[in-house]
Structure 1
Amino acid sequence: MAEYEGPVRVILRMDIAPGREAEFEAVWLEIGGLIGAQPANRGQMLVRSAEEGEGQVYHVFTDWADEPSFRAFELSAEHVEHRRRLRPLRIGGGMTVTRIVHDLRRPAPAAG
Structure 2
Amino acid sequence: MFRVVLCLRIHAGREQEFERVWAANTAAVADHPANLGQFLARSADSESTYYIGSDWVDEPGFREFENSREHVEHRQKLHPYRSHGSIRMMRAVPGLVG
* Alpha carbons of structure 1 residues 62 and 105: separation in structure 2 relative to 1, 3 Å: farther
Question: Shift in Å at residue 103 of structure 1?
Answer: 3.0
Relative to total residues, which structure has the larger strand share, 1 or 2? 2
Structure 2 gap segments, 5+ residues each? none
Question: Is 2:7 the partner of 1:13?
Answer: yes
* Aligned Cα root-mean-square deviation (Å): 1.1
Question: Shift in Å at residue 31 of structure 1?
Answer: 1.9
Range moving further from structure 2, 96-105 or 20-29: 96-105
Question: Shift in Å at residue 102 of structure 1?
Answer: 1.6
Per-residue CA deviations over 1:18-44 (Å, capped at 9, x if unaligned) read 111111101111222331121110011
* Bigger Rg, which one: 1
The TM-score, its normalising length taken from structure 2, stands at 0.93
Matches of 2:97 and 2:40, distance apart in 1: 17
Q: How many residues align?
A: 98
Calculate percent identity across the aligned residue pairs.
Answer: 46
In structure 2, the residue matched to 1:44 is 38
Give runs of aligned pairs for residues 24-43 of structure 1, distance below 5 A. 24-43=18-37
Question: Shift in Å at residue 104 of structure 1?
Answer: 2.0
Structure 1 gap segments, 5+ residues each? 1-6, 107-112
Matches of 1:102 and 1:45, distance apart in 2: 20
Q: 8 Å contact 2:28–2:74 — kept in the other structure?
A: no
Q: Which runs of 4+ in 1 moved over 3 A?
A: none
Question: Is 2:77 the partner of 1:93?
Answer: no
Question: Is 2:58 the partner of 1:56?
Answer: no
Give runs of aligned pairs for residues 70-109 of structure 1, distance below 5 A. 70-106=62-98
